[in-house]
Amino acid sequence: MYSMSLKHMAALASLSAATLLPGNLNAQPAPVPFTEQNTATPDKQEILSIARKVADWQIKEFPNNKYAVKEPKGWIAGALYMGMFDWAELSGDNQYFDWLKKVFKRQHWQVADRMYHADDVCVSQTYIDMYTKYKEDKMLLPTTARIDWVINNPSNGGLDIDYSKPLSYERWSWCDALFMAPAVYTRLYTLTGNKKYMIFADAEFKATYNHLYDKDDKLFFRDSRYFGQQEANGKKVFWGRGNGWVIGGLAEILKTLPAEDTEYRPFYLQLFKELSESLANLQNKDGFWHASLLDPDSYPSPETSATGFIVYGLAYGVNQGYLPADKYLPVIQKGWNALVSAVEPDGKLGWVQPVGADPRKVTREMTELYGTGAFLMAACEMYKFNK
C-alpha cells in the first residue's frame, strides 16, 4: 500500500470540515441525492467495515450465482476474484485468500475454454497474483501455456464485431477486453522478464485503441457496432461500464508493468490521464456514472459497476501521483459515497447493470459478481487515502 503524500493530505484538508460521512453505512431507501455531503472524506475504519460486509455477502451468495456455478473460470467471476484478492491483501485476513484457493483448486487453476478470447483469461490476473504470493507452480502453468500458445499462433481475426463470426472475438475487438487480457501479459512480463509478452500485448492494445477510441470525446466505443449509433438526445453511444472496464484495465497495466519501465509506460499513462479527465467530467450530480455517459437522462438510474471501476481507476491515479489530488479527490469521494449508498444492510451491492454491451435499464435489486469486484477494488484504493 502507498503512503499518502503531503499534497494529498493538503487536498483533503481543503475540503469543507462540515462534509462528514453519514454514520449509517447501510443502503438508503433511494440513491442519495447530490449534496455537499457526497464529497465527505470516508473514515478508513468505515471503509474496512463496508468492504468486509460486501465481500462476506458475496462469498455467502457465490454458490447461488448462476455464473459462479456455470462459468467459474469466466470473466464475470474473474473480475470478482481481482477485487477479492485486493481485499484479502488489504484486510490481512487469510480467510479470503483461503476462499480464493478453494475456488481455484476446484478449477485446477485452469483458464476458460476459448483459446483466443480475452474474457477467458481474465481469471489469470488473480492466478498470477496468487502465484506471486505463494510461489506454487500449479497456480501459473495453465496460464503461461495458454498465453504462450496465443503468442505463437496469433489470430487472423479482424477488429469489427460480428456475433455470427466467432473469429471476430479472437482479437481484443471490444473495449471490455482491455480489462480482461492486457494485464495478464504485463504481469507475465514483469514476472519473467520476457519481453515477448509485452510486445504482443502492446501491439494488440494499440490496435484496439486505434479502432475504438474516439479522439474527439476521448472515450471508447464499446465495439464497432456503435460507431454510427446515437442516443435519444442525439449524442454518441458511450457505455458507462465499457469505459469503466478500460480505466480499470489501464490502472492494472500501470500497476503491473515493471516499476523501472520507460518504454511502454508513457503511452498507457497518457491515455489513462486523458480518459480519467473525460470520465471525471461526466460524473452525475448523484455521484454515480450512469449506463450512458452522454445521455444520463435516458438512463437515470445509478450504475454501480461503471462507478466502481471508475472510482477504482481515479483513486489509483491519485494514490500514485498520476492525477492531481486537488482536482480528483472530490470526484472520487463523491463517487465512493454514492457506491456506499447502494449497499444493502446485508452487504448486497445493488444497481449493477446485468451482463450486456450497451446502456440498459438498471434497478436497485440488480447485482452481479463483477460489481462486487469493482466495489472491492475501489474500497482498497479509497483506504489508501487515509493510510
Q: What is the pLDDT of residues 104-139, one digit of tens each?
A: 999 999 999 999 999 999 999 999 999 999 999 999
- Taking a C-beta distance cutoff of 8 angstroms, is the pair 122, 179 a contact? yes
From the list 86, 120, 129, 176, the catalytic residue is 176
- Taking a C-beta distance cutoff of 8 angstroms, is the pair 77, 369 a contact? yes
pLDDT of residue 386: 60
DSSP letter assigned to residue 352: P
pLDDT of residue 10: 39
**Residue 152, all three cell numbers:** 505463437
- Taking a C-beta distance cutoff of 8 angstroms, is the pair 250, 275 a contact? yes
Residue 348 contacts by C-beta under 8 Å, 6 or more apart in sequence? 54, 57, 61, 367
Q: What percent of the chain has pLDDT over 90?
A: 87
DSSP 3-state assignment of 264?
coil
**Residue 184, all three cell numbers:** 495478464
Question: What phi and psi values does residue 49 have, to the nearest 5 degrees?
Answer: -65, -50
Domains of the chain: 6-385 (1.50.10.10)
pLDDT of residue 7: 39
Identify whether 129 is a catalytic site residue.
no
Question: Can you list the residues of the chain whose pLDDT is less than 70?
Answer: 1-40, 386-387
Question: What phi and psi values does residue 313 have, to the nearest 5 degrees?
Answer: -60, -45
> How far apart are alpha carbons 248 and 309 in whole angstroms?
5
Q: What is the pTM of this model?
A: 0.90
Residue 14 contacts by C-beta under 8 Å, 6 or more apart in sequence? 326
pLDDT per residue as tens digits for the range 27-53: 333 444 434 446 667 899 999 999 999
Taking phi over 0 as left and psi of -120 to 50 as alpha, with beta for the rest, 28 belongs to: beta
> How far apart are alpha carbons 151 and 200 in whole angstroms?
7
